[in-house]
Amino acid sequence: MNMIKKTDIFHIHTYRCGHAENVSDEAYIKKAIELGAKGIWFTDHAPFPGDPFFCRMKYEELNGYIEELKRLKDLYAEKITVHIGLETEFFSSFDRLGYYKELKANPDIELLLLGQHMAALPEGGYSYDLAGDILDEKEYLLLGEALIEGIESGYFDIAAHPDRIFRRRNEWDDNMAEMAEMIIRAARNAGMTLEKNISSMNYKNYFRKEFWDLTENRIETVYGLDAHAVKDLIIVP
């Protein structure tokens, strides 16, 4: 079931991830109130134990992220509902370590957003380690398989920008349609909402109409901003 209301602003990042505007969490909240939003969902990029990835908050920052948003939730309770979430990839190796169970069990984390930006390789390493031409050809297959694993894991509430896995492919083909169908079926079976990402619409091949045409009248969707700056905040009509 979709947790996001029409009057909510969904999918917000913070300065902690290292590639968002260097402003306070409160700045986003004040802008959301100014726009007339009733709720705002923070979903910054989750850190992983050992901090193996760039463009993520540090693992030691996670508690501070939660505590600051809890403080602001209380401070602005009469004006807006502040929600605390995280966006993260699914990796079976971190699942075996109990990482996702730990996040899911945290009572202060209201939502886990599955955003599969990369995938683990069977031989070790990650998809971004592949040579460019191989990555262009295989990325959507690797990310799609990881995305389906994440959907079927039961840890996540919403899948972010599932169509973005096709970003390196210029021409839509039957193999891409087959992968899209597998993702949609997995999400439907899991009762998971899929996110139509506003930010993806600004980049070539990130937002794939072909994908969303396949979802029509079949699955619940929600619009997410993927905001990395205060100026990105809008209320989607």
Q: Is 37 exposed, middle or buried (0-12, 13-18, 19+ CB in 10 A)?
A: buried
Nearest to 33 by CA among 84, 81, 94, 66: 81
pLDDT of residue 3: 86
Q: Hunting for tokens 């069990």 — which residue is that?
A: 105
Stretch 146-158: mean pLDDT? 98
Which pLDDT belongs to residue 237? 85
Q: What is the DSSP string of 56-72?
A: S--GGGHHHHHHHHHHH
Residue 233 has pLDDT above 60, yes or no: yes
As a whole number, mean pLDDT of residues 18-23 equals 98
From residue 169, give the alpha-carbon distance in Å to each of 163, 173, 182. 11, 9, 18
pLDDT in tens, 193-228: 999 999 999 999 999 999 999 999 999 999 999 999
Spatial separation of the C-alpha atoms in residues 91 and 62, rounded to whole Å: 19
pLDDT digits (tens, 9 = 90+) for 77-115: 999 999 999 999 999 999 999 999 999 999 999 999 999
pLDDT value at residue 208: 98
Q: Which CATH superfamily is domain 8-231 in?
A: Metal-dependent hydrolases (3.20.20.140)
Q: Which residue do the tokens 């699914």 mark? A: 90
Look at residue 42 in the predicted model and tell me its pLDDT.
Answer: 98
- Pairing between β-strand 111-114 and β-strand 81-88 as defined by DSSP bridges: parallel
pLDDT of 2? 67
Dihedrals phi, psi of 164, to nearest 5 degrees? -70, -15
pTM for the whole structure: 0.96
Q: What percent of the chain has pLDDT over 90?
A: 97
Q: Tokens 């990402």, residue?
A: 197
User: What are the residue ranges spanned by the domains of the chain?
Assistant: 8-231
CA distance 44 to 111: 11
Instruction: Supply the mean pLDDT for the chain.
Output: 97
- Of 126, 77, 125, 86, nearest to 104 (Cα)? 86
Spell out the SS3 assignment of 78-117. CCCEEEEEEEECCCHHHHHCCHHHHHHHCCCCCEEEECCC
